[in-house]
């Protein structure tokens, strides 16, 4: 079997981790890896050697990597601000890219993805691993089978206590170059919407018979990082008296063309357990991640306390797991198996020369939520329009699903 | 001990239930009861006789009740649209009223409450039982003790599957005159915000050092009632082909003067277990109702899965119960004991001639969320301003708490 030849641009913690997962795939060859920091390049070359027995080329300029003809696909786990520029360079070089997640900085950057795709006919993928979560895929499967009736509302969140990392990335012995600190000092928006929005967008057929029309976004005050630093680092710490522009909680409400609403929360600077706050509400069932329960009309009794249904999702896997998860071993790689699956989705698209499961229209729409939420917050919660990046194709060509394995 | 003499206006299911709780209080005498339907009056007079051994006067015009001099307080569990008009009549008659909950229909109705209070100096109370919920009061107590650090975000909801009642109040054998059906046919708003907003407003010191500044509100499409009726009643049912204006899910986001945000959800026409979705997020702790967990920094570990904390609220009652709940027997009356407590709050204010624990400024602010959400939804999610019903007093005279028993 011929190996699928790929390159990797961006070799920080995440890039190194993803590279190791791919290096273990027997049908893939990592031809070259690239980062602006040479120590990262050396570490990654060594990591691939250990796992796969060969050394990829180590580069510090991604244009050199894109000039290697045999490379057909490029993983792009760079810093947030480089995701779109590198994806554009990949399209121009005729190579399928898979960008790690994060929001955009300007809506025009999202349009540039579309314009470049339309000019080059080279697809690009967003590497949204949460679209491959077991629960997210099971609910997608159940929605397609009609178990939820008509879905009218979804909720999601990126609720992850990041205070320590955000406050301490200047420690010289920590590998946190390019990390998120400046985002929190300067911006105020939902800076990381796709973990929660991605799976919901697939459930609501966004860009395939539906689209996001408008959103409003509201940020709370910013108190979490200041309070954390005051207690853990004291008043002499360089960041102790900085003002953080990023509100602790950002709530974004999206209205869709077919009437559904989506509510998203960014919640990364307060103490809490991790949650993506995934909720799907239909006319016949509701799923909630936070107490891991499924409530299906006819099977459950709404007069009983909810507590009786906590944790019952486990009992539905056998019947409703998405085909992608049937028999899958989640120990295969990263974040409960999601990383392996999203990487396989990418590798398979490279091998087949097909459109990736999360395409450039998904990428543009999902990433645009960040600058749009920034606008709405700045305008005091004013609704802002979400562009139709498909230019009218969302209700024409894009509504057909091709098979049960599809996202 | 002299008995506190009260009247009751509005004797539907809720009015009958509240009257029975009050009839059992040994220090209260129900002097008169009133409803426009005589069958209800007869039922309630008989109910009081059975419980308390005396018969109150039965009336069909509330002005007759207000003309009875010995009556000092009036319970007002009328239909939604009568709450404010009857409360105004009570103020003009110099009697402390306690109105059952619901939203207002016009912001000016809320102003009329304020104007009438300022002219008559007669207080009025909103009978929000959920302010007396054990969890809500415990969290309030913990917030005042500083356990949450600074609170920056709260969530709440009225998530209650009301489809059967909404679809079937025309059945001739059902006691549902004045029920909510027409609200769902004609309006589109958060029609019932105070169960969730009330406890949050106390936690955030609304009207006592803080206030709500603006809100945005977004409604989903309306599918739940139509789908329910089609399945349970078939196409011949009179409501089978009616259009319901009320969206299934309404999400309202409120921004407060001190920077906090509040997110509310109305969710009453889809299948689900009951929840008020109570969440309080501070810089040092988070409370969530749906999995009944408290996560306090220093005691809990955010690297552990949330599941380990599900249901742990029980273990905090002994240490943090609000003084009102210490040693309280929740079997004393209605909705887990909340009804008894809110009625005691009212009776005590009548007896003492004091301001009630939920006053006319609270009532105006909380009830105004309904017409404001209606405006914002009609304007496509445009932010609307919440009036300052205190006319500037919120950051002057009203920030002082008088005792640990206070709401």
Q: Is the pLDDT of residue A334 over 90?
A: no
- Residue B73 has which token pair? 């307080």
Min Cα separation A149/chain B (Å): 9
**Residue A375 binned pLDDT confidence (cut-offs 50, 70, 90):** very high
* Residues B253, A217: Cα–Cα separation, whole Å: 9
- Chain A CB contacts of B210 under 8 Å are none
pLDDT at A401: 61
A151: closest chain B residue by CA: B223
The full set of domain ranges for chain A reads: 4-128, 130-324+360-395
Which residue of A273, A277, A311, A313 to mutate against B (max B Cβ within 10 Å)?
A: A273
A163: closest chain B residue by CA: B283
Look at A295 and B271 and tell me if their CB atoms are within 8 Å: yes
- Angle (CA) A249 B295 B131, round 5°: 75
Q: Strand pairing of A285-288 and A279-282? A: antiparallel
Cβ-based burial of A191 (10 A; exposed 0-12, middle 13-18, buried ≥19) = buried
Min Cα separation A223/chain B (Å): 7
A161: closest chain B residue by CA: B302
**Residue pointed to by tokens 């540039």:** A112
Nearest to A380 among B220, B381, B383 (CB): B383
Min Cα separation A51/chain B (Å): 28
Q: Is the pLDDT of residue A171 over 50?
A: no
CB pairs under 8 A between A and B: 189
Mean pLDDT score of chain B: 94
- pLDDT more than 70, % of chain B: 96
Look at A306 and B270 and tell me if their CB atoms are within 8 Å: no
- Chain B CB contacts of A224 under 8 Å are 152, 283
- Chain B CB contacts of A386 under 8 Å are none
Nearest to A223 among B247, B263, B283 (CB): B283
Which residue of B272, B277, B303 to mutate against A (max A Cβ within 10 Å)?
A: B272
Residues 6+ apart with CB under 8 A from A285: A142, A147, A148, A149, A294, A295, A296, A297, B271
* Residues B217, B372: Cα–Cα separation, whole Å: 8
pLDDT at B20: 97
* pLDDT mean over B110-139: 98
- pLDDT more than 90, % of chain B: 87
**DSSP class of B10:** -
Nearest to B291 among A219, A310, A381 (CB): A310
Q: Which long-range contacts (CB under 8 A, 24 or more apart) does B85-93 make?
A: B86/B9, B86/B10, B86/B62, B87/B113, B87/B124, B87/B363, B88/B112, B88/B113, B88/B116, B89/B62, B89/B63, B90/B66, B90/B122, B90/B124, B91/B116, B91/B117, B91/B120, B91/B122, B91/B124, B92/B116, B92/B120, B92/B122, B93/B66, B93/B67
* pLDDT mean over A115-125: 98
* A176 or A313, greater pLDDT: A313
- Chain A CB contacts of B295 under 8 Å are 271-273
pLDDT at B304: 86
Look at B271 and A302 and tell me if their CB atoms are within 8 Å: yes
A298: closest chain B residue by CA: B271
For domain B130-324+360-395, give the CATH number: 3.30.360.10
B308: closest chain A residue by CA: A273
Nearest to A306 among B153, B219, B290 (CB): B290
* Residues A257, A210: Cα–Cα separation, whole Å: 6
Q: Is the pLDDT of residue B173 over 70?
A: no
pLDDT at A329: 87
- Chain A CB contacts of B253 under 8 Å are 216, 218, 251, 253, 381
Look at B281 and A258 and tell me if their CB atoms are within 8 Å: no
DSSP-assigned beta bridge partners for residue A217: A252
pLDDT tens by residue, A282-301:
999 999 999 999 999 999 88
Min Cα separation B261/chain A (Å): 5
- Chain A CB contacts of B149 under 8 Å are 223, 227
Nearest to A286 among B261, B270, B380 (CB): B270
Kindly report the backbone phi and psi dihedral angles of residue A190, in degrees, each rounded to the nearest multiple of 5, phi listed first. -80, 95
pLDDT at A170: 54
Q: Are A134 and A337 in contact (CB under 8 A)?
A: yes
What end-to-end distance do the CA atoms of chain A give, in Å? 26
* Residues A188, B380: Cα–Cα separation, whole Å: 23
- Residue A110 has which token pair? 């999202």
pLDDT tens by residue, B308-362:
999 999 999 999 999 999 989 888 877 889 999 999 999 999 999 999 999 999 9
Min Cα separation A346/chain B (Å): 29
Look at B382 and A382 and tell me if their CB atoms are within 8 Å: yes
pLDDT tens by residue, B72-113:
999 999 999 999 999 999 999 999 999 999 999 999 999 999
pLDDT tens by residue, B375-403:
999 999 999 999 999 999 998 865 556 57
Span of A360-369, B199-208, B391-400 with lowest mean pLDDT: B391-400
Q: Which long-range contacts (CB under 8 A, 24 or more apart) does B176-182 make?
A: B177/B12, B177/B37, B178/B12, B178/B78, B178/B79, B180/B80
Nearest to B382 among A273, A292, A383 (CB): A383
- pLDDT more than 90, % of chain A: 87
Look at B253 and A302 and tell me if their CB atoms are within 8 Å: no
| Positions of E strands within A66-150 | 73-76, 96-99, 124-126
* Residues A268, A248: Cα–Cα separation, whole Å: 7
A299: closest chain B residue by CA: B271
Nearest to B153 among A220, A255, A295 (CB): A220
Look at B218 and A149 and tell me if their CB atoms are within 8 Å: no
- Angle (CA) B27 B33 B36, round 5°: 160
**Residue A405 binned pLDDT confidence (cut-offs 50, 70, 90):** confident
**DSSP class of B281:** E
pLDDT at A178: 52
| Positions of E strands within A95-179 | 96-99, 124-126, 151-159
Look at A281 and B263 and tell me if their CB atoms are within 8 Å: no
Kindly report the backbone phi and psi dihedral angles of residue B52, in degrees, each rounded to the nearest multiple of 5, phi listed first. -110, -10
**Residue B171 binned pLDDT confidence (cut-offs 50, 70, 90):** very low
- CA B70 to chain centroid: 28
ipTM: 0.95
pLDDT tens by residue, B290-305:
999 999 999 988 788 8
For domain A4-128, give the CATH number: 3.40.50.720
* Residues B181, B158: Cα–Cα separation, whole Å: 17
Min Cα separation A278/chain B (Å): 13
Which residue of B155, B217, B253, B256 to mutate against A (max A Cβ within 10 Å)?
A: B253
pLDDT at B248: 98
**Residue pointed to by tokens 């349009």:** A111
* B172 or B231, greater pLDDT: B231
pLDDT at B373: 98
Nearest to A259 among B220, B270, B300 (CB): B220
Nearest to A75 by CA among A10, A20, A171, A23: A10
Nearest to B218 among A261, A282, A302 (CB): A261
- Chain B CB contacts of A290 under 8 Å are 288, 290-291, 306
- Chain A CB contacts of B302 under 8 Å are 161, 271-274
Q: Is the pLDDT of residue A84 over 50?
A: yes
Look at A253 and B216 and tell me if their CB atoms are within 8 Å: yes
- Chain A CB contacts of B251 under 8 Å are 253, 261, 263
pLDDT tens by residue, A194-247:
999 999 999 999 999 999 999 999 999 999 999 999 999 999 998 999 999 999
Nearest to A270 among B265, B283, B296 (CB): B283
* pLDDT mean over A86-109: 98
């Amino acid at each position: 079997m011929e190996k699928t030849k790929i390159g990797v641009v961006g070799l920080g913690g995440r890039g190194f981790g993803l590279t190791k997962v791919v290096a273990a795939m027997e049908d893939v060859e990592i031809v070259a890896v690239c980062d602006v920091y040479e120590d990262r390049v050396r570490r990654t070359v060594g990591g691939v050697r250990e796992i796969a027995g060969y050394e990829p080329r180590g580069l510090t300029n991604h244009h050199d990597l894109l000039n290697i003809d045999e490379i057909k696909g490029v993983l792009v786990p760079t810093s947030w601000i480089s995701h779109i520029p590198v994806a554009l360079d990949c399209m121009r070089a005729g190579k399928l890219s898979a960008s790690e997640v994060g929001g955009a900085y300007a809506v025009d950057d999202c349009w540039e993805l579309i314009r470049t795709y339309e000019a080059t006919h080279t697809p690009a993928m967003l590497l949204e691993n949460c679209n491959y979560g077991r629960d997210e895929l099971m609910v997608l499967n159940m929605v397609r089978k009609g178990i939820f009736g008509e879905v009218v509302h979804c909720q999601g969140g990126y609720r992850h206590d990041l205070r320590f990392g955000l406050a301490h990335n200047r420690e010289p012995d920590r590998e946190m170059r390019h990390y998120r600190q400046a985002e929190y000092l300067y911006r105020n928006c939902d800076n990381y919407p796709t973990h929660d929005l991605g799976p919901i967008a697939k459930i609501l057929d966004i860009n395939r018979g539906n689209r996001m029309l408008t959103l409003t976004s509201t940020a709370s005050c910013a108190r979490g990082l200041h309070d954390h630093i005051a207690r853990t680092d004291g008043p002499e710490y360089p960041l102790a008296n900085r003002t953080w522009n990023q509100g602790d909680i950002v709530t974004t409400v999206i209205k869709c063309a077919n009437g559904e609403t989506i509510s998203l929360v960014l919640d990364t600077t307060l103490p809490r357990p991790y949650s993506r706050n995934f909720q799907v509400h239909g006319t016949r069932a509701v799923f909630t991640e936070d107490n891991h329960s499924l409530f299906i009309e006819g099977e459950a009794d709404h007069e009983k306390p909810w507590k009786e249904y906590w944790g019952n999702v486990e009992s539905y896997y056998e019947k409703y797991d998405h085909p992608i998860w049937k028999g899958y071993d989640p120990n295969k790689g990263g974040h409960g198996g999601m990383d392996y699956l999203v990487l396989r989705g990418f590798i398979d698209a490279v091998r087949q020369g097909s459109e990736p499961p999360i395409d450039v229209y998904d990428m543009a729409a999902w990433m645009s939520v960040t600058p749009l939420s920034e606008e709405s917050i700045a305008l005091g919660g004013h609704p802002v329009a979400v562009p139709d990046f498909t230019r009218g194709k969302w209700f024409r060509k894009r509504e057909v699903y091709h098979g049960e394995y599809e996202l």
